[in-house]
Amino acid sequence: MLTISNLSFAIEGNPLFDNTSANIPTGHKVGIVGRNGTGKTTLFKLIKNEYQPDSGTIDMPSYFRIGGVEQEAPASEVSLLDTVLAADEERAALLAEAETAAEPERMAEVYQRLNDIDAYSAEARASSILSGLGFDQFAQARPCHEFSGGWRMRVALAAVLFSQPDLLLLDEPTNYLDLEGAVWLEQFLAKYQKTALIISHDRELLNRSVTGILHLSHQSLNYYSGNYDQFDNERRAKLEQQQSMRRKQDMQRAHIERFVERFRAKASKARQAQSRLKQLERMQPIMALTENAVAGFRFPTPNELKPPLLVVEKGQVGYDNEPVLSRLDLRLDSDDRIALLGANGEGKSTLSKLFADRLPLMDGHMFKTNKLRVGFFAQHQLDELVEGDSAYTHIMRLRPNDDEKTLRAQLGASGFGIDIADLPVEKLSGGQKARLLMLMATIDAPHILILDEPTNHLDIESREALVMALNEYEGAVILVSHDSHLVETVADKLWLVNDGAVADFDGDMEDYKALVMEAHRKSKSKKAKSSAASPKSDQPKVNIARLKKQSGELEKKMEKLTTRKHALEAEMAAPEFYQAHSQEAISGKTDALSDTIAALSAIEDEWLALQSQIEITQ
């Protein structure tokens, strides 16, 4: 169990925790939630002993290995797969020792431990994790330096997931994942057998993957059992009860004060008035649990234009004369709410840039209605803000003819009060920078608003405010986001960007998630892939009996190989084995074990492929 007892901690005089306690049961997955700035990342640093509490303690079992993603994987010559494999330091050390150990008893211990940690399946497990995070077999063999920082962050995440620490600490892990990666991570965390703490503002991740919520608010930690929706419902009920109690107390206090004011001067009532005064003094005020209201988003209403707003006919778009998307026949109207689905690299951002007039068509035609305005928000633009300039300066640059009062009113409505509106942008938080970019994208009342991962730096309350603003906005919306909740509550049309084309997706987000997970399952085997490529109707039903017979034969082979594997492992685990055999014989047994494991893995893949064929044919 992770035990936080009477924790107090302040940074530069700003208290983040004040004599607060919480217990995290071993093996639980817990979401860490709270407004930006409440101390979530600081809590991780305290747990990792990077910061020392002002008072109180944080205790955990002495054997706990703590793992987290500190920074992106290094830009080295090492392949992605080998980078992930190296994260299991114990396995790497044992394999190295197995090559050099001379003492029979120690060799027995080494091989037994390798067996205990399932070391021989490590490469397959590492490859599966990388695949889930978006790296195919070809990418896994490439060196790290060939990938950008965002992709190397995924490699670092894969490495820590592969190492299976006793305490897994993840700080906004979906910020550098696409929707497909986020769906895979939900599944992985739900099955994770050890303790995990996950800072996240992603409602779907918190609903599908955790067993508890640790809420940071008012310098306190409060633990709730269940997922995020259960926490939200319980806390809302608690808030309503607390507010009701406070209203009753306020009414009682007002009644007593009226009595005292009325009868204080009367001798016959003086004693009673004094008694009421003492009652007031003893009455502990019930504090409201409500947090400060989050600033909303306000998107100005565009003037009405004749439809359609935009049409693409037989379009082709890409980079350096290399097409990314072709055969584009698309139309946008003012009431469209469209989410773009598809894995990273398929062309979602390319299509967004085409609509935003940041990429020209390579072929085909694009029609835009007269006086069309397009607003574009993309996370990479955070780095394009001018260092040293304030939020006010950025807005003034866009609207030089507006007076200062108007501009500051717009900033204030977006959450930029006088305390931060004139700060250099480098001193703003990620969430504040995102709000500034949102204001810059919408200040001219665009007819089409394109949002590419708008929620990465927003807390849950700010995400809800964005949902409300988008649903009230009267222009068209194009949305690219790994936040399923945002997509489900805003978009009424889904476009799938895949294999160089864009097509309507006939289904909802649950259908798409199921499609993603099915694709990952089938990608484990080339035969499964080829089976999935053929329509169900093309599979001859007369083959079912033959397929099931083949499946039964493979199961018998798997059983025999498993028995042989266990026998070899048991033989090699005995200390007398190394005393009774020469080094050459020991090497022979080691090779036999490796060959058996490899054969078993190959037959398992073949069996999985057959199961896929059987499912498709039935």
The yes-or-no verdict on residue 467 having pLDDT over 60 is yes
Q: What percent of the chain has pLDDT over 90?
A: 23
Q: What are 17-54's pLDDT values in tens digits?
A: 999 999 998 889 999 998 877 888 899 999 998 889 99
Categorize the per-residue pLDDT at 176 as very low, low, confident or very high, splitting at 50, 70 and 90.
confident
Categorize the per-residue pLDDT at 314 as very low, low, confident or very high, splitting at 50, 70 and 90.
very high
**Most confidently predicted of 105-114, 234-243, 498-507:** 498-507
pTM: 0.68
Calpha distance 469→29 (Å, rounded): 32
- What mean pLDDT is predicted for residues 488-504? 90
Chain mean pLDDT for the chain: 81
Categorize the per-residue pLDDT at 283 as very low, low, confident or very high, splitting at 50, 70 and 90.
low
Calpha distance 155→159 (Å, rounded): 6
Range in 367-371, 474-478, 524-528, 535-539 the model is least confident about: 535-539
- What mean pLDDT is predicted for residues 546-571? 73
- pLDDT at position 599 is 64
- pLDDT at position 223 is 92
- pLDDT at position 104 is 74
Range in 1-15, 536-550, 598-612 the model is least confident about: 536-550
What one-character DSSP code corresponds to residue 424?
Answer: B
Contact predicate 477/338, CB 8 Å = yes
Categorize the per-residue pLDDT at 501 as very low, low, confident or very high, splitting at 50, 70 and 90.
very high
Provide the 10 A C-beta neighbour count for residue 206.
Answer: 25
- pLDDT at position 70 is 75
Q: What are 411-463's pLDDT values in tens digits?
A: 888 888 888 888 888 888 778 888 899 999 999 999 999 999 888 888 888 88
Contact predicate 499/505, CB 8 Å = no
* DSSP assignment string, 176-229: G--HHHHHHHHHHHHH--SEEEEE---HHHHHHH-SEEEEEETTEEEEEES-HH
The yes-or-no verdict on residue 528 having pLDDT over 50 is no
- pLDDT at position 554 is 73
**Higher model confidence: residue 67 or residue 269?**
67
- What mean pLDDT is predicted for residues 557-570? 76
Phi (first) and psi of residue 576, to 5 degrees: -70, -15
Q: What are 243-265's pLDDT values in tens digits?
A: 666 666 667 667 667 766 766 66
Calpha distance 78→540 (Å, rounded): 46
